[in-house]
Structure 1
Amino acid sequence: MKRSGPLFTLFAGLALGLVMLSLNATTGEAGAPPGNTPAASPATESPSVRPSPSRTAGGKSAYAGRTDDGTAAVSVSVRGDRAIAYYCDGRTKESWLKGPVGDDGSLRLSGAHGAELTGTLKGDRIRGTVETGDRPAAFTARKAVKPSGLYRATTEVRGARIDGGWIVLPDGRQVGVLERDGVPRAAPRIDPETGAVIVDGERLTARPVVPRPLPEG
């Protein structure tokens, strides 16, 4: 009976040791060592802002069409965030306009004598209104496939200043006005494949109109 006390104490100590080892092992599996805490996953970045699907940054495109009342033609040439437009009735009325294109495809162009063109570029067309001193005229200009589009020739012929503008519509029809020393008249036809045109017996070349990009800075 006197020997059972030490043996009991020995077995109790061994059992306690086994329990402690088991607890330590379990704790080691569940926790991470200090200083080695897994890094949090980086936050998902929001998608970058992209240009409107109406246009491609830096891209070039032309649009051509007629006013709703059929009395005039309108063409718009776009390059990135800049645009040049031409309105003419094919006889004596014309106006050149220019300005920015918004990220949402909005246009607000201005020209001489208070001329204004407002509209929206969406998909393959521009829908808007042009005002050149008369009542505003609504128009639709669809994306032009070369040789359709906007052309201009500016030069001097036999001492006279020549400035001509042409809109070649998608169906092949042409609408243009040519000024000779500031006096407008209906423009002669151009060869849309080459831009060649005869003015006062001289062969000239009308070239596609493309806006110039804004200077950097």
Structure 2
Amino acid sequence: MKPSGPLFTLLAGLLLGIFMLSLNATTGTRPTSSSNDVTATPTPAAPSTAPPTSPSPTATLPADADYAGRTADDTASVAVSVRDGKAIGYFCDGRSRESWLKGDVEEDGSMALSGTDGARLDGVLRAGKIDGKVTVGDRTRQFTAAPAVKPSGLYRATAEVRGAKIVGGWIVLQNGRQVGILNRDGKPAAAPRIDPASGAVTVDGTRLTARPVVP
């Protein structure tokens, strides 16, 4: 006996449903996320524990002062005047050789002063004194210059006396000793003594005034 048409149709639909369920299970299809999904909140960064950066200290130049002393071989004197980071130096052997030098003083106290004919003074201002070396001509001498409080220090006088150009330089040491050279039209010779209190000096019968040297 043949099955009726409606019964055949029902069986065919049941078989198709079983086949579709089996297909979904095999492919592993996952449902689409809904609008109710929770969004993860980022974790705030931990505050920095590094110490604040402190400002750099303000650099200071060496204090204004005058210095004077002898070379290590005791053949000459050296004086240096420091003002506002500038320096003037004077080397003098008290007979025939001298040199005026100038340059800058760095924040660490170092200085490199230069003069004519290749003269050079290299020193360091540290612990209240200047230690260094000075080169004049073909000789280099070590020296130490200690603080020079007036009347000790560096003096200079310029004038025209009886038609001659006079340029004098003096170093007055802390013990009162004087070392100086007087140039007459470029001819050096030992300088006469000055009065440390007033700077007065007599050259060829003419009274001059030697004044403290500053940069």
Question: What TM-score comes out, normalization by structure 1 length?
Answer: 0.73
Question: Does structure 1 residue 50 correspond to structure 2 residue 59?
Answer: yes
Can you give the 5+ residue segments of structure 1 that lack an aligned partner in the other structure? 1-41, 212-217
Question: Does structure 1 residue 134 correspond to structure 2 residue 138?
Answer: yes
Report deviation, 1:75.
0.2
For 2:92, the equivalent position in structure 1 comes to 88
1:63 to 46, 51, 67: 67
For 1:7, the equivalent position in structure 2 comes to none
Report deviation, 1:133.
1.4
Inter-partner Cα distance in structure 2 for 1:116 and 1:99: 10
- Residue 111 of structure 2 aligns to which amino acid in structure 1? L
For 1:108, the equivalent position in structure 2 comes to 112
- Matched residue pairs, number? 165
Query: What SS is found at the alignment partner of 1:71?
Result: coil
Listed one character per residue, the Cα deviations across residues 59-100 of structure 1 (whole Å, up to 9, x for unaligned) are x31100000000000000000110000001000000000000
After the TM superposition, which residues 144-163 of structure 1 pair with which residues of structure 2 at under 5 Å, given as runs?
A: 144-163=148-167
Listed one character per residue, the Cα deviations across residues 124-173 of structure 1 (whole Å, up to 9, x for unaligned) are 21000000112210000001011000000011111110000000000000
Inter-partner Cα distance in structure 2 for 1:206 and 1:122: 29
2:182 to 167, 178, 182: 178
- Residue 118 of structure 2 aligns to which amino acid in structure 1? G
For 2:210, the equivalent position in structure 1 comes to 206
Inter-partner Cα distance in structure 1 for 2:57 and 2:77: 38
Question: What TM-score comes out, normalization by structure 2 length?
Answer: 0.74
Inter-partner Cα distance in structure 2 for 1:85 and 1:108: 10
- Residue 187 of structure 1 aligns to which amino acid in structure 2? A
Can you give the 5+ residue segments of structure 2 that lack an aligned partner in the other structure? 1-50
- Residue 128 of structure 2 aligns to which amino acid in structure 1? D
Inter-partner Cα distance in structure 1 for 2:121 and 2:162: 35
For 1:20, the equivalent position in structure 2 comes to none
2:78 to 74, 81, 101: 74
RMSD (CA atoms): 1.4
- Residue 197 of structure 1 aligns to which amino acid in structure 2? V
Inter-partner Cα distance in structure 1 for 2:98 and 2:192: 15
Report deviation, 1:123.
2.4
